[in-house]
Amino acid sequence: MIKKHSVLICVVISVILMVIATMVYPGGSWFDKNAICFDWTKNFFCNLFAAKAINGADNTSRIWAIVGIAFHSVGYGLFFIHMSKKVSDKHATTVLKFVGFANILFTFLIATPLHDTMVIISGTLTMLGLFYITVFMLRTKLHVLKFCCIICMLTFYYTFYLYGAGDWGLLAIMQKVTLLMSMLLVLGLEYFTRQGDFKQIKADSSADS
């Protein structure tokens, strides 16, 4: 039972711990160093990982956030590994397995001083994995999930654009939107796809050749 619902368990625990972290965060943001508590429209999740809050107080949210992102990284890693077993393509299977195992490490390292570099690496790997999944989803009959994959990919690209452009105000909001959308997509793909959905793709490709 735990193995079957491992992705859901990790995601739920991660969300609970991160919400607790935001509730005990002392305060301060890039926009107002004297602000109190965590502002969902102005603070970034990376503020939860530092030893000191932006307002200078000891960061009581740190331990909650670190354990939370640990569960998050494992949950997403397991998701890509599970999807690699559903997709009937050797190359895609290899890529998704690599993304899954690599992201367990790189996503967790976002909580370290290597944050900026790990955000880029982890984000790129996640988008690569979602790109492969989206390509194969577009050839299935799961129309709702097709649409969700496309929207999630576009949201990821837009959020990365804001990061590169330095639009911190809108990025603070889009960070949460992107995370929420990706979690819903991950759970949707985890529970509403099966190996049989992709076997037909392989059969059609063999027939065409």
Euclidean distance between CA atoms 199 and 72, whole angstroms: 29
| Beta-carbon contacts of residue 23 (< 8 Å; ≥ 6 apart) | 37, 38, 61
Q: How many residues does the chain have?
A: 209
Instruction: State both tokens at 178.
Output: 């992107």
Confidence (pLDDT) at 202: 53
Q: Is the pLDDT of residue 93 over 80?
A: yes
Which residue in 155, 151, 99 sits closest to 122, CA to CA? 99
3-state secondary structure of 3: coil
Mean pLDDT of the chain: 92
Which residue in 9, 22, 13, 72 sits closest to 49, CA to CA? 22
Question: What is the per-residue pLDDT across 133-175, written as a single tens digit (0 to 9) for each?
Answer: 999 999 999 999 999 999 999 999 999 999 989 899 999 999 9
Residue 207 — pLDDT band, cuts 50, 70, 90?
very low
